[in-house]
Amino acid sequence: MALENFGYYLGIGLTSILNTFNPEAVIIGNDVIEALPMVLNSVRNSISLRIHHQFANSYDLLLSSLGKNATTLGASSLVIEHFLEAVCA
């Protein structure tokens, strides 16, 4: 029950992001979500109940394939991009 609530409230938050920014994809990564499909199902159900009908089929909800390195790789890519912009300018 607690894990379903986790998925439910995560879905509410993701719905706000989807309705506001209309991204092509939302990538989530969490050991709990990856280990227990019921949590991901709860997230999807929560989103489908709240998402604006215009955006209902315009996004993908994906699991991260980067694992625990995702934040490090994301931060590194921002630093490299900033460096290259400074060098090439």
CATH number of 2-88: 3.30.420.40
What percentage of the chain reaches a pLDDT higher than 70?
Answer: 100
**83 or 33: whose pLDDT is higher?**
83
Is residue 61 left, alpha or beta, with left meaning phi > 0 and alpha meaning psi from -120 to 50?
beta
Question: Would you list the domain boundaries of the chain?
Answer: 2-88
Dmax (CA) for the chain in angstroms is: 54
In this predicted model, what pLDDT tens digit does every residue of 66-75 receive, in sequence order?
Answer: 888 888 998 9
pLDDT score, position 61 = 94
Answer yes or no: is pLDDT of 59 > 90: yes
What percentage of the chain reaches a pLDDT higher than 90?
Answer: 69
Collapsed DSSP state (helix, strand, coil) of residue 21: helix
pLDDT score, position 64 = 87
pLDDT score, position 69 = 86
